[in-house]
Amino acid sequence: MHQLVRASAGSGKTWQLSGYFLKQLLRGARPESILATTFTRKAAGEILGRVLIWLARAARDPEFCQEIGQAIEPLSIDCPRAQELLQQVTGQLHRLRVSTLDSFFQQIARSCTLELGLPPGWMIVDEHTDRMLRRQAVDIVLAEQETAHSRRLMQMLARGNHQRSVRTLIDDAISNAWDVFQQTTRDAWTRVDAGRRLTSAEREAAVAVLKEFPHQLPGKRMPEAITGDIDRFESEQWEEFVKKGLASALLKGKTTYHRQDIPEEIQEAYRPLLRHARAEILQQVAGRNEATYELISRFDEACRQLRQETGFTRFGDITRLLAQSEAAVDGRRIDFRLDSSLRYLLLDEFQDTSLQQWQVIRRLVRSLAEDGNDGSTGVFCVGDTKQAIYGWRGGVAEIMDRLESAVPGIDVQQRHVSYRSSPAVIEAVNHICSNLGQHPNLKDYEAACQQWSQTFPPHTTARTTLPGYAEVRTLPVPDAEDAADRKSQSDFIPEAADCVSRLHQQTPAAQIGVLVRSNDEVARLVHQLTERGVPASEEGGTPPVDSPAVLAVLSFLHVVGHPGCRVSRFHVAQSPLAEHTGLTCWEDDALAARVSASFRRRLTDDGYGATLQDIALAVSPVCSERDRLRLQQVVAEARRFDLMPALNPADFLEVLESARFSRTTGAPVRVMTIHQSKGLEFEIVVAPIVSRNLFRVPSLATGGPDPAEPPESVCTWISSDLKPVLPESVQHAFDQTLSSCTREALSLLYVTLTRAIHALHVLLPPGVKRTSRSAAGLVAAAVSDSRTEDLPPDEVIWSCGDPNWFTGMSFADRLSAEHRPVVIPTVRTAPMTEGRRRGLARRSPSTHAPPAPSAEQRPSRHDPAADAVDARVRGSIIHAWFEDISWLPDDVPDPARLPDVLTRPDLRNVRLTDAQMKHLADEFLAMLEQDAVRQTLSRPAAVERLAHSQIGRNLSEQCLQVAAERPFAFRQDGQIVQGIIDRLVTAHSDGTVVAAEIIDYKTDRAHGNLQDWVADRVSLYRGQLNDYRTAVVNSLNLSPEAVRCSLLLLDAGVLADVS
Amino acid sequence: MTITRCFFDWNRPFLPQVADYLTNRYARGTTLDLTGVILVFPGRRAARRMLELLVERSEQNHPNLLPPQMHTFETFPELLYVQRQRLADPLTERLVWKQALTAVPSETARAALSHLPSADALSNWLRLCESLRQQHQELAAEGLDFSDVQVLLEQKKHDEEAARWQALRTIQAEYLCQMDRLNLWDRQTARLYAVDQEECETSHDILLVGTVDMSRLVERMLLQVADRVTALVFAPESLHDHFDAFGRLRSELWQDRQIAIPEDTAVIADDPDGQAAAVAEHLAAQNGTWRADDICVAVADDMLVPAVEQALSQAGLRTRWPVRFQVRNSAPWRLLEAVARHLATAQTGQPGDFESLSDLVRHPDVSEALDQALAARGFNNTTWLADLDEYLAGHLPPHPGVLPESRRQGVVRAICRTVEDLLSELVTPNEERPSGTSGRSAPQSVYAASSGRQPLADWAAGCLRLLQRVCRFPDPDCDASRYDAFSACMAAFNRACESLQDLPADMMPQCTASQALPVLLMQTADADVPAPPDDEAVELTGWLEVPLDDSPVVTVAGFNEGRIPRSVTSDLFLPNTLRAELGLNDNRRRYARDAWALESLLHSRPSVRLIAGRRDDQGDPLHPSRLWLAGSVRETADRVCRFYEDTAPDSAPPDTQRTEQRDVPESSIGCRPAATGGESAFIVPSPDARRPAPAKLAVTDFREFLACPYRYYLKKELKLTAVDHRPDEMNALTFGVIIHRVLSRFAETDLVDSDDSARIRAGLQDLLSQEATHQFGTQYSSTVAVQLEIIAERLREFARWQAEQIRDGWRIRWTEQAVETDFQDIRGRTVLLTGRIDRIDQHSEQNIWRILDYKTGDKAKSPKETHYRSGRDEWTDLQLPLYHLLARQLPLQGDIQLGYMHLPGDLSNVRETLATWDAEQIESAIQAARQTAADILDMTIETVTPPAGNRSDEFSRICQDTVVDRRIPWLDDWTGRLSKEGES
């Protein structure tokens, strides 16, 4: 059964979705065949958590099985079945598909990377890198265009202006139009056809005709208006021309002007002028549209190139590629690649789905719908167009309506019973929402408002006995004295804070949600509340620049990147950072340069996280609590930045300035934006509706016959006065855009009102007018008497319920886990007597020798000596050959077998030409001819050398044993020393070892004075040989004197004693 | 032949038992000779620990220890056979795959991979080929090839996917052909050949130590030497059926096995900080019983490491995470990355851009090289970076090839030359340089050379040369950590060089520097830089190392699904079910491995704590490990409720309640802050009241002071200047200066009295070109070019206006006229008032003078708007009235008008706007100026005001504009300047 549930706020969307999920499990669906998507990862976690909790509780409690009966009806569940399902689901936890759409799309894209044309190993870009790449893309766009063309483009974008900042202009255009660009074709941007303009002769003639009329007309108003029109036309003020006078009236299709009929001949005379003015205006508009399209399309292409080069991809790119790729999102392919057959699709918060997301999931929906309605597949969609508040992020509420056509026979349900709010709150919601159309001055917003309020379904509540109260009141007029401290004349944050403070005093344990429009308002409200002693939690995110300590750190980072910045130097030098960074004098250029260099070194070597943590620790004692929290967030961000750090520390400063960190504390008063409150509920909601505008004027108008399809018309925004000059389809796009903006603003209001459980306090600015086209004006008009224009300050305008609803009530401690303070205990450990036992450091005897060979030691490709072999390779091969010799002359190797050395595992990757091998073999054979080598490897000589040691005086050749490549390991000074001795000769007497000789082969090239060189080698390798000696002394229980160590310097033919 | 299996009691740690086993089996008298033994471990850490245990035992009883060979499956198989062909290194394999992809018909390649990178995108090719290489390796390790996948898919009726694999199979065949042609093998092929030819042999005893997972190819190799193989299994013999003959887990038997986890062993924390605190709690609960090296903290999620390190540091413990970072984070690697970015911006025949060069010179090693080089060339080696910044901000040069003349041109040129000299290491070996030069002399030559094609190996050698020259080898005694990072990076590049040296000539890519460097960077980025040893530290380790660890105290953080066990839910080529059917590593095998690991851990250690988090570092929800939920149904249900239902984190188990609290304020940093109050000592800095009062005031000072006296102090008295980060276009000041200069010079031309707008336009265009050349040189960045066009547009409109003025009878009499006069403040003190008037026109016929100030902002505001705030009845600027005052010093007879000449963005507003103040109003303004002058002299500061419109400016951080409760404690008691000189 496919279902579409239109669920009003508080009616249990997640509950229903979880219930549907459980029902499919009960019907035998495999957990991985169910895809449940929602808008945030947190919400996804909640859905999965709820399903698991239900199963877990049902598994152990028969009564709970009854309790959840409603959610799964007509099915039922008992403990054994719940236990079975619980084990099934927890066993498949890794395969469950409860996620955001973005996560799901990423998963598809990972499996279909190649089909989507993404570079292998692509990754989602972080904000900082994204900014850098966008900047790079803009550079590419600017570089590839002719300057004059670019300038014309800029002029068009700037609406005829010649603005100084090209970057700002382009950045704004990209921010405003890139998303729309991605949904549209070029045709959508070229709907405005300017039409023909009059020639100058035609213009003069047309004006001349019109000039005749003022003298012929009675009265003053119309002649004056015509004269004004002519002036504006002649001075080429086209926009003014169509906005004023008779021209304006005629353009709007009126035939009267101030209730006076406009004679037909005058109307006729105006027509060519209007056509011309329209063409002039439209030419500008068309130019802007095309310029925007051209700029964005070039930018988009540059971004695509960069994505291919770098592998950095945005979430939106993935959605777009999937939307464009029929092949990748083929149901069967997805099933195969994702390793599960998707049979059920559960879509939460569907009203916030974007067009491109819809283009992808529509295919899945259709394929599931086509598979029939027999229960083997299912589409369950839940949402509420009244809560569509993410239009600015691409959400299109109308998509919800399209689901009905995409899934024929889908069961549509309406749920308007709240399981959250008290009757008083619901009454307020109903009253305000159904009266929003009462506003007397809605103008452009009228249609949308009327429709919204007329289609608003009255809500009821299941919590009929819940005590509660709702009021709409105006705030008092601010004191004139502190008016100067306010941010603007419409800043009523202090009065709102007073109100919240009073409510908190009344009900200190109740959770109060204070919901505002912007993060800025959140920060200021929290400040005001803190000043009033009200503990408030600032939720959502704001940049950490509200901490003076962080500001100083930012200045410091700027100094490190730009030591010439005296502003930042002054700031640091005058702050507590001076002491800890060494920047104690801002006027000292050399000092600034030194500090900059030293910290650039630290940031590069130790990382941003470690360096900033040191600074944060150092200044912690002089920080406020907020400083410390913010510094902690900065350090955490620095650690993330370390994954892809920049060489100029000022780049990190940019990251911090745009980062958003919350200051959530778990206090009972929680201040947040309305968007952040989505999905939450509070015992009391305070909604200061003090913003001036209903919504921000959009920069583009988009529209088409079906809002759930990509727009067919796109036009840069123009004032509503000019709208009549536009082609009808484009005017329609403006109307659609205004409507959706209006609906979104009303949805925001609705979301605000419906978060409350017990009490709702809507605060309006003092003196708000019922005619004001603002959110406050809309509410004022909805709740107040139609005869009053200005609402009196500091008065309850409307209320219902019991103002003392809280009497006798107690509130649960809601301090959640995430807000409980973390306490770090001291850890004591036992003393490490006799040093470390586990995880000992390692040392190789060769570390006494010089570091790994550098490039200079490797023969260059240009090396004229074609037979030259890398020094290390040469050494390894010669060592290997010597390893096979126990004694000379007994073990002289067969020259023909020498090349076999390359079959040894450790030499498997060595590649030598025949000439090189011959070269090496000849060299080796020549070494064997050297006296020193022959002597060293001969038994008699070995006996003689060992005999020099006191213990080994009476030795025979038979008592000698040779070990080649003898491994050893021993512990010394808390380290494990591990190595291999090239050649160890041991002398045995009576079954015990009495002396030993260590020979280490060295293939170093001799140069300069032989004596000096040998001395130098001995000095260089003494440490290594001493380690060997220690190993032999320890393992064979010999005295050091009984162990002889020598270097056999093969290139020079010298046996050097290392005593 | 069968392999011997030996089971070891999992109620005791494994490796000490293995050490005893080895001693019993191989010790002879004082000698423990293990030279005939090969030990195979699942990971390197276990091998290291084994050696420690053997050394320990040798110290006790067997001093003559001859250690065994110790390997992992990565290197072990090569001990069993003789290679008949040389092995290709991974880079060669990738290049052969590339060759194969280009050799097969393009439709085959497209059928397999859909899209192929463009010919020049070498990095992308190699990335793509790496994925093919890995897939080939993985299948080959199980004795499979691409055709096996195709056949299976055909059997399963996945026709579309089968077609894809058929194409892949063709490519694979071509790859193998190419390898044959080159007489090369890849490792798996070599192993397969050895197995097929039954060539595996050994003279050693092979002991598989806890290797519960191995590929089928290794299995077949072991079978050929089975009589020498013993599998040491860490599990009770009663579980013998849960392991196969090789000691591998039979994964199917571990899926439904209940794992008994004592309730107090697992705890739930909220976020990473909470998990870290739980780690500290567990260790604190040991009450000092154990030494630091008896403790093992396993971190299953790398993202938790910083939090755990921080928490344990606060708890008083040092920690050591074995990997300090990857080579990609080392200074040398980042140097090459910066070079790569710089060279990538080099257009044909032109140097790289200044933005990337500006980053490059900030690299500490390059900075040090520049310090020395610039000092040698006689430049101030302390301020060169500031000089560079200032030059770039002022002149916005696109690249070092064009350096406009200026005071700092010399040092900037020297910087660029030095960088070029350093970069020349990339393209020219030392011995090939002309004698007497350290690098190339022509500025473009390095860039031109780097855009030429040469073998990748030569670029690699160049990278090493560059690193050796720029990054001086750190002294290991003075700076061990830098030394380690440098060594690791150099070793990685050495390895890359070595592998390239061995590349067959016809496989060697010929590429430009900007194609080569990304490849080399990619090759080296992931190598580990080890953390320096720390004898006192608690070891942090990954989860996979835990089962063979023998520390008595083990804490596992990140006990969450996706971490323990890991699972793969999407794959470029093979989904999990297919992997399972092909016998590849799959989610069931991973689960079985972790289930065994967990059980062995729980059995073998006295103190184990498993910590699961509810949220990750981004605040996103986490889920508990499936292993934790693999208990009885009742336990599962309870644990689900505990994890999802309870919002409070688990309180510490009883013994942790006794732990002391560490009372250190710094605990707030890096972890959630302690709830200590206290005001911030970061205040808005107090002005210096001892500064002498200024002797002269510029007309523009008044506006600054009126806007914000404190900002005036910073800007005008302290003369603080800011440096833009990444300037990329003319700022408002430069933009205005250019226009002012053009207009000033215009007044000196013979066009000054012309009424021919076309001639004026042409003249202004010429002047603009000259000014642009003067300021920006002969080549501009694209942005500057567009801005100059915008200025030109404004000047064209100005030309029209100027011509009109002439026709109306106006003549320019003065431009940029400096005027000064004594000016008395309200208290009778005298200062010198100075001003530079942009333009004074005269209308001779009407006997009117007009003082005009050019305004070049985007928007045109009238003098009234800028000077006077009528709502408050106060002057906000005094510029024009003071010009009126100053003009009295000039021989102006007649009426004087004051106004602006706007050159705004909206060209229809290019015109003058005149002030309409009468004499009385001007006098009122001058009186206000006297008051303001007094305030300036007295340094009267009553408030610190942000810029209008809540904008930010260069002083916003100092003034703490964004801090709602900023502290300015000195303001309440501020009495102004101490030495109020000139006071009458």
Are B808 and B780 a contacting pair, CB within 8 Å?
Answer: no
The predicted model gives B958-982 an average pLDDT of 86
Which two tokens mark B834?
A: 């100075």
The predicted model gives B198-215 an average pLDDT of 96
The enclosing domain of A898 has a CATH number of: 3.90.320
Q: Cβ of A66: how many Cβ atoms within 10 Å? A: 13
The predicted model gives A356-361 an average pLDDT of 92
Are A349 and A42 a contacting pair, CB within 8 Å?
Answer: no
Q: Cβ of A3: how many Cβ atoms within 10 Å? A: 17
Among B925, B844, B924, B848, residue whose Cα is nearest residue B880: B925
Res A856 pLDDT > 50:
no
Among B898, B893, B944, residue whose Cα is nearest residue B925: B898
Between chain A and chain B, how many beta carbons pairs sit less than 8 Å apart? 566
Say if residue A543 is preceded by a cis peptide, omega within 30 of 0.
no
Q: What percent of chain B has pLDDT over 70?
A: 95
* Residue A625 and residue A679 share a domain: no
Are A189 and B760 a contacting pair, CB within 8 Å?
Answer: no
A816 within a domain of the structure (yes/no)? no
For A482-508, the pLDDT digits (tens) are: 655 565 666 788 999 999 999 999 999
Are B496 and B433 a contacting pair, CB within 8 Å?
Answer: no
Specify the pLDDT at position B431.
53
Res B976 pLDDT > 80:
yes
Asked, colleague to colleague, whether B263-322+532-658 and B685-723+809-984 share their fold, the answer is no
Q: Cβ of A1015: how many Cβ atoms within 10 Å? A: 12
Specify the pLDDT at position B671.
36
B103-109 long-range Cβ contacts below 8 angstroms, 24+ apart: B103/B174, B103/B178, B104/B167, B104/B170, B104/B171, B104/B174, B108/B167, B108/B170, B108/B171, B109/B167, B109/B171
* Residue A1028 and residue A900 share a domain: yes
ipTM beyond cut 0.85: yes
Please state the φ and ψ torsions of residue A1048, each to the nearest 5 degrees: -100, 100
* Residue A939 and residue A1044 share a domain: yes
Among A953, A954, A868, A877, residue whose Cα is nearest residue A913: A868
Are B51 and B59 a contacting pair, CB within 8 Å?
Answer: no
CA distance linking residue A667 with residue B675, whole number of Å: 13
Domain ranges in chain B?
4-80+200-248, 86-196, 263-322+532-658, 327-530, 685-723+809-984, 730-791
Strands, sheet with A756-764, edge to edge from the N-terminal-most edge strand: A661-663, A536-542, A669-673, A512-516, A682-688, A756-764, A469-474, A796-801
- The interface residues of chain B toward chain A in range 105-124, judged by CB-CB distance below 8 A, are 113-115, 117-118, 121, 123-124
For A953-999, the pLDDT digits (tens) are: 677 888 899 999 999 999 998 999 999 999 999 998 888 888 999 99
* Residue A958 and residue A1033 share a domain: yes
Model confidence at A855, in pLDDT bands (50, 70, 90)?
Answer: very low
> Assign residue B719 a region: left if phi > 0, alpha if psi is -120 to 50, beta otherwise?
left
* Residue A88 and residue A182 share a domain: no
- Residue B825, chain A, CB below 8 Å: the answer is no
Q: Mapping DSSP to helix (H, G, I), strand (E, B) and coil, where does residue A759 land?
A: strand
Specify the pLDDT at position A516.
94
Q: Cβ of A48: how many Cβ atoms within 10 Å? A: 22
B54 interaction partners in chain A (CB closer than 8 Å): 969
Domain that holds residue A51: 3-120+317-415
Q: Where among A313, A335, A355 does a domain terminate? A: A313
Q: Which residues contact B105 (CB under 8 A, 6 or more apart)?
A: none
Specify the pLDDT at position B480.
78
Specify the pLDDT at position B61.
87
* Residue A309 and residue A322 share a domain: no
The identity of residue B103, as a single letter, is A
Res A825 pLDDT > 70:
yes
Q: Spell out the SS3 assignment of A458-496.
A: CCEECCCCCCCEEEEEECCCCCCHHHHHCCCCCCCHHHH
Alpha carbon of B10: minimum distance to chain A alpha carbons (Å) = 20
Q: Cβ of B130: how many Cβ atoms within 10 Å? A: 18
Q: Worst-scoring range by mean pLDDT, A61-75, A155-169, A713-727?
A: A155-169
Model confidence at B722, in pLDDT bands (50, 70, 90)?
Answer: very high
In chain A, the number of structural domains is 5
* Residue A98 and residue A229 share a domain: no
Superfamily of domain B263-322+532-658: P-loop containing nucleotide triphosphate hydrolases (3.40.50.300)
Location of structure tokens 């597949």: A377
Q: Where among A415, A450, A484 does a domain terminate? A: A415
The identity of residue B913, as a single letter, is T
Specify the pLDDT at position B641.
94
* Residue A361 and residue A484 share a domain: no
For A376-425, the pLDDT digits (tens) are: 899 999 999 999 999 888 899 989 988 888 888 899 999 999 999 999 99
* Residue A344 and residue A282 share a domain: no
Q: Which of B958, B970, B971 to mutate to test the interface with A (most CBs of A within 10 A)?
A: B958
Question: Which of B256, B577, B621 is closest, CB to CB, to A41?
Answer: B621
For A112-140, the pLDDT digits (tens) are: 999 999 998 899 998 889 999 999 999 88
B630 interaction partners in chain A (CB closer than 8 Å): 90-91
Specify the pLDDT at position A720.
85
For B794-816, the pLDDT digits (tens) are: 999 999 999 999 999 999 999 99
Kind of pairing, strands A700-703 and A713-716? antiparallel
CA distance linking residue A971 with residue B53, whole number of Å: 11
Specify the pLDDT at position B646.
61
CA distance linking residue B401 with residue B780, whole number of Å: 11
* Residue A766 and residue A906 share a domain: no
The predicted model gives B769-787 an average pLDDT of 91
Res B649 pLDDT > 60:
no
* Residue A902 and residue A1000 share a domain: yes
Average pLDDT over chain A, rounded to an integer = 89
Specify the pLDDT at position B884.
95
Specify the pLDDT at position A864.
40
Res B141 pLDDT > 90:
yes
Res B655 pLDDT > 60:
no
CA distance linking residue A874 with residue A859, whole number of Å: 12
Q: Cβ of A74: how many Cβ atoms within 10 Å? A: 6
Are B545 and B327 a contacting pair, CB within 8 Å?
Answer: no
Alpha carbon of B980: minimum distance to chain A alpha carbons (Å) = 24
A778 within a domain of the structure (yes/no)? yes
**Topology of the domain covering B4-80+200-248:** Rossmann fold (3.40.50)
CA distance linking residue A161 with residue B909, whole number of Å: 10
Model confidence at A143, in pLDDT bands (50, 70, 90)?
Answer: confident
Res B184 pLDDT > 50:
yes
A827 within a domain of the structure (yes/no)? no
The enclosing domain of A486 has a CATH number of: 3.40.50.300
CA distance linking residue A161 with residue B897, whole number of Å: 29
One-character DSSP codes across B820-863? EEEEE-TTS-EEEEEEEEEEEEEETTTTEEEEEEEE-SSS---H
For B208-246, the pLDDT digits (tens) are: 999 999 999 999 999 999 999 999 999 999 999 999 999
A336 within a domain of the structure (yes/no)? yes
- What is the distance between the terminal CA atoms of chain A, rounded to a whole angstrom? 91
Specify the pLDDT at position A44.
93
The predicted model gives A21-46 an average pLDDT of 93
Specify the pLDDT at position B814.
94
B190-197 long-range Cβ contacts below 8 angstroms, 24+ apart: B190/B81, B190/B83, B190/B84, B190/B85, B190/B87, B191/B77, B191/B81, B191/B217, B191/B218, B191/B221, B192/B140, B192/B143, B192/B217, B193/B84, B194/B80, B194/B81, B194/B82, B194/B83, B194/B221, B195/B143, B195/B220, B195/B221, B195/B224
B160 interaction partners in chain A (CB closer than 8 Å): 332-333
- Residue B782, chain A, CB below 8 Å: the answer is yes
The predicted model gives A557-583 an average pLDDT of 97
- Residue A835, chain B, CB below 8 Å: the answer is yes
Question: Which of A41, A574, A852 is closest, CB to CB, to B490?
Answer: A852
Are A32 and A95 a contacting pair, CB within 8 Å?
Answer: yes
Q: What percent of chain A has pLDDT over 90?
A: 64
Are B341 and B347 a contacting pair, CB within 8 Å?
Answer: no
Specify the pLDDT at position A573.
98
Tell me if A114 and B114 make a contact (CB, 8 A cut-off): yes
Specify the pLDDT at position B652.
45
Specify the pLDDT at position A815.
53
More confident site: B794 or A645: B794
Q: What percent of chain B has pLDDT over 90?
A: 76
Specify the pLDDT at position A157.
83
B481 interaction partners in chain A (CB closer than 8 Å): 605-606
The alpha helices in A517-661, defined as continuous H runs, are: 519-531, 548-561, 566-573, 577-581, 589-606, 608-619, 625-641, 650-658
CA distance linking residue B445 with residue B425, whole number of Å: 12
For B557-581, the pLDDT digits (tens) are: 999 999 999 998 888 899 999 999 9
For A737-777, the pLDDT digits (tens) are: 999 999 999 999 999 999 999 999 999 998 888 888 889 99
Q: Mapping DSSP to helix (H, G, I), strand (E, B) and coil, where does residue B541 land?
A: strand
Among B932, B675, B898, B961, residue whose Cα is nearest residue B829: B932
For B828-841, the pLDDT digits (tens) are: 999 999 999 999 99
- What is the distance between the terminal CA atoms of chain B, rounded to a whole angstrom? 114
A162 interaction partners in chain B (CB closer than 8 Å): 790, 793-794, 905-907
- Residue A617, chain B, CB below 8 Å: the answer is yes
Residue in B closest to A645 by C-alpha: B329
* Residue A247 and residue A104 share a domain: no
Specify the pLDDT at position A219.
82
A849 within a domain of the structure (yes/no)? yes
Specify the pLDDT at position B669.
38
Residue in B closest to A150 by C-alpha: B786
Specify the pLDDT at position B474.
77
Question: Which of A110, A117, A909 is closest, CB to CB, to B115?
Answer: A117
Q: Does domain B685-723+809-984 have CATH number 3.90.320?
A: yes
A385 within a domain of the structure (yes/no)? yes
Question: Which of B123, B306, B562 is closest, CB to CB, to A94?
Answer: B562
CA distance linking residue A317 with residue A329, whole number of Å: 15
